Structure 1
Amino acid sequence: MSATARKKAPNAEDIRARKGGTPLVSLTAYTTPMAQLMDAHCDFVLVGDSVGMVLHGLSSTLGVTMEMMILHGQAVARGLNKAMMVIDMPFASYEESTEQAFRNAARLMAETGAGAVKLEGGVEMAETIRFLVNRGIPVLAHIGLTPQSINTLGGYKVQGRAENADAVVADARAVAKAGAFSVVFEKVPQVLADRITEEVDIPTIGIGASAGCDGQILVVEDMVGFFTAFKPKFVKRYAELGPLAEAAIAEYASDVRARAFPTDAHVFSEQPTTAETTA
């Protein structure tokens, strides 16, 4: 998509300036049609590495590759005109060194047109965030439950309870100081999310956190009922499209087997019809 077509989209500084204002709205997207549906409603759209689980049937996000992120990022970019696009850096694309992180972040942005990258980690990633920001790459940080670290976290567990609260606070302070324009909190206690939102000077984006955050994000397939392998507590189903789609597929299969589809309305005659020529 051309730069001209996307010039209305907000940038990282626009998002940062929304601290304490009207809550920011974000959803994940992996395809052009879904991006088109949310473009008018979201401040930024995340091409998340959750694509590995939602669309590719992986058991976690760890198997997602740079090539997968670029492919889906390009698809989402074609569907956006107003919303900013942020793209996830996949597992093992940034942890090794700041140089590795820059190389892969620059590739993601150059090949997809994303306005920023997202990476997971707090204190341990502060140097990397600073390195990227100082070289022109805006960073959305992600702390609390970081899905790429599930093997060391012991699964998809709430982070920041009891004695672990101070570690999450330290992570938030570190990414803000390093220059992240915003930070996602995933699966952290509400009181802790509210505390950090008050303490840091960048917008906080909640997913399983608090309505007091500066914004919210959900995986859209969770929210509309397309992805039903599991339902986290923090997901509100705004629609149940999965059962509707399954019912439509079942009806189609029944019609095909009964030779009830296609009908005359769906096939072509030897001569063009008015409907064909005006379609």
Structure 2
Amino acid sequence: MKTILDFANKKNKKEKISMVTCYDYSFAKIVAESKVDTILVGDSLAQVIHGFPNTLHATIEMMALHTAAVSRGAGNKFVVADMPFMSTRKGLETAMNDVQKLMVAGAHAVKIENVDGHAELIKHIVESGVPVMGHLGLTPQSIHQLGGPKIQGRSQTAAEKLMNDAFIMEQAGCFAIVLELIPSVLAEKVTQNLKIPTIGIGAGSGTDGQVLVLQDMLGMNPEFNPKFLKKFGQGHTHVLAALNQYAEEVSSVAFPKPENGYE
């Protein structure tokens, strides 16, 4: 996928959208060779790459740095970058400065969590020529207010609000919306009632696409096993085995061999 038009075309043709969250040049190079449609540079990099307990520690400097690295390796893939915690709540000028930093770093669009207080900002960003992806359901930047990583939209009131928020995001100009950790029936209903595509994570198969963190789907962290995650690789096992073999061959002088040296 190269432009936001490809997202709309996928939905119209009832073709599913595949997105992975990627944070660095090396992995982006591999994703660029894959059949995956699009890349998200998520603020989850604060946890996955920098070891913080949540996404609140992602700064605009972090986001711009990783976005630049990913964009250099992403080839023709469409790259979306997260607006970090509080970047949308400090006034229009500050928000637009952060949008500019992400776009200059190589993003093709920005992602904004929640719509409460953001509708006018989303509209302004879109009118400024920058595509915006929305994000509803479990919004990690509101983790403390939500009381932890809990399923959202279970009550009738919460479900109705989420549906209404999705409509507001669509009307404000979002080209797609991520739906995270909401009941499958609700996600499917939102998807059917929107003209723009939805991309789910922990939202069932009724959305227009799916997103997973690359390290999670590759099985890099054996301790992370949420219900919504399927591990498509055993990365931790393979990397650990390679490291141990390397250490053993160095210790036994099986490596390096003469062919690994220079005359």
List per-residue Cα deviations over 1:183-207 (Å, max 9, x = no partner). 0000000000000001111100011
Secondary structure of 1:261's partner?
Answer: coil
Q: Could you state the TM-score of these two structures normalised by the residue count of structure 2?
A: 0.94
More displaced stretch, 115-124 vs 191-200: 115-124
Q: Describe how 1:62-73 pairs up with structure 2 within 5 A.
A: 62-73=56-67
Q: Which residue in the other structure is 1:263 paired with?
A: 257
Secondary structure of 1:34's partner?
Answer: helix
Q: Output the aligned Cα RMSD.
A: 1.4
For residues 184 and 139 of structure 1, do their structure 2 counterparts lie closer, same or farther at Cα, with a shift above 3 Å needed? same
1:121 to 111, 114, 123: 114
1:144 to 122, 137, 141: 137
Number of equivalenced pairs: 260
Whether 1:185 aligns to 2:176 is: no
Secondary structure of 1:129's partner?
Answer: helix
Whether 1:75 aligns to 2:69 is: yes
Contact 1:106 1:137 in 2 (8 A): no
Contact 1:97 1:128 in 2 (8 A): no
Identity of aligned residues (%): 41
Secondary structure of 1:256's partner?
Answer: helix
Consecutive unaligned residues of structure 2, counting only runs of 5 or more, are: none
Q: Describe how 1:82-231 pairs up with structure 2 within 5 A.
A: 82-110=76-104, 112-163=105-156, 164-231=158-225
Whether 1:56 aligns to 2:50 is: yes
List per-residue Cα deviations over 1:242-274 (Å, max 9, x = no partner). 1110011112112222333222222222xxxxx
Consecutive unaligned residues of structure 1, counting only runs of 5 or more, are: 1-8, 270-279
Q: Distance in 1 between matches of 2:245 and 2:10?
A: 47
Contact 1:28 1:48 in 2 (8 A): yes
Q: Which residue in the other structure is 2:24 paired with?
A: 31
Q: Describe how 1:14-29 pairs up with structure 2 within 5 A.
A: 14-20=6-12, 21-29=14-22
Q: Distance in 1 between matches of 2:202 and 2:117?
A: 23
Secondary structure of 1:118's partner?
Answer: strand
Secondary structure of 1:78's partner?
Answer: helix
Q: Distance in 2 between matches of 1:199 and 1:162?
A: 19
Following superposition, the deviation at residue 50 of structure 1 comes to: 1.1
Q: Distance in 2 between matches of 1:178 and 1:68?
A: 27
Amino acid at match of 1:133: V
Amino acid at match of 2:172: A
Q: Distance in 2 between matches of 1:29 and 1:107?
A: 18
Contact 2:88 2:118 in 1 (8 A): no
